[in-house]
Amino acid sequence: MQLLCAVQQYHWGKLGSASLVARLGRANDPRLAVREESPYAELWMGTHPSGPAVVRATGEALGGWLRRNPCSLGARVLEQFGQDLPFLFKVLSVRQALSVQAHPAKGHAEELHRLRPDLYKDPNHKPELAVALTPFQAMCDFRPAKEIRSFLQNIAELREVVGEDAASRFVTCDEAGQQEALKACFSALMMASSDCVASQLTCLIKRVSTLGEADRNFVLAPLLEELESQFPGDVGCFVIYFLNVMTLQPGEALFLAPNEPHAYLSGDCVECMACSDNVVRAGLTPKHKDIKTLCEMLTYNCQPAADKLFVPSREDDCTQVFLPPVSDFAVAHINVTLPKKRYALRQRSTASILLVVEGSASTSDPELLLSPGSVVFLPACAELSVHPTGDVALDIYQAFANV
């Protein structure tokens, strides 16, 4: 079944037709009126109540259709997750930085939902996978300790905000005490007074404008200046000295487990996650910040940026698959290059959702034609062959349960 999907216009999204979300959203549903001055941030493909997909032919909500046709989900999904998709599939187009954030583990999510249902609206965890469609910049997990130490030792404004005691404790700690010292140091940064943060950020911005190229590169001046222009005086601007900053190339991926700090900064990606919208935020956002909860829940593991790349496995000459260590979801990337005339998609034992990003094709279903923006629901064990048409390779992403 072809689906019509929801577009979310969060303020950080790319504007108008510059947004891949807007272009795919308009192709998916011609009723979408794209305004060039408006942001288009996310395309949601799934059953989450904040943006449920509907069956194109009938207008019925996909979630309702699944409850009437539960066998389409597959036996293992029904057994583990019940009569609904366990994942939410998205496209993101990021113009401004998203918040410094992390997602709670399952038990913690249940507790947060019980205590603050106004902020944490469901009891589910939210591990997620992001696969770059364009160069995609993000912050992810803590840098190697020696890099954080170097920043603390050489950027006086950062040390001032963190405080001498916490900074010195981390700089001089041994490996056994590293996690606790990092937690104390990062918590001191995030809980610093807003006046101190704003004044030291102003000093740093002024100082980096006078530095030579090598020193500007060391202090990550271009990124610092960009974030400060978006969020003046925000503590999140200093987080670049604690978290890895990396740029994914198209096809590269990040997997974000519970309690791992991150922030998306710019670019376009496909994202898949457990079906939840739980986010604990602490910087680079006008939304509610729950700094104490974030600082308590983080893992405080230090590792190089290269170690955060999540590598797929190849299924055949057209398909590679990202299999994260959770049962809620997996993502296949299907690229059918020309002049291949026919390709049979792998049968999945669970229901899946297909998104066409580029290219066009006819299929083994004579009523199903694919083009950019096509979103298709496939029942468990369904067979589908694609026949590329036109002169552009067929590029498809497929989300399914990892059970």
Residues assigned a catalytic role: 281
Cβ–Cβ under 8 Å, residues 89 and 68: no
Collapsing DSSP to helix, strand or coil, 393 comes out as: coil
Strands 253-256 and 128-132: antiparallel
Alpha carbon 28 to chain centroid distance? 21
How distant, in Å, are the alpha carbons of 143, 179, 229, 245 from that of 225? 20, 29, 6, 15
Residues 6+ positions from 322 with CB-CB distance below 8 Å: 129, 131, 253, 255, 310, 312, 330, 331, 332, 333
Tokens of 231: 């969020």
Residues 6+ apart with CB under 8 A from 227: 97, 234, 236, 237, 240, 265, 284
| Tokens representing residue 65 in the block | 């259709």
Rg, the chain, Cα only: 22
In sign, the C-alpha dihedral spanning 174, 177, 178, 182 is: negative
Structure tokens at 60: 């019925």
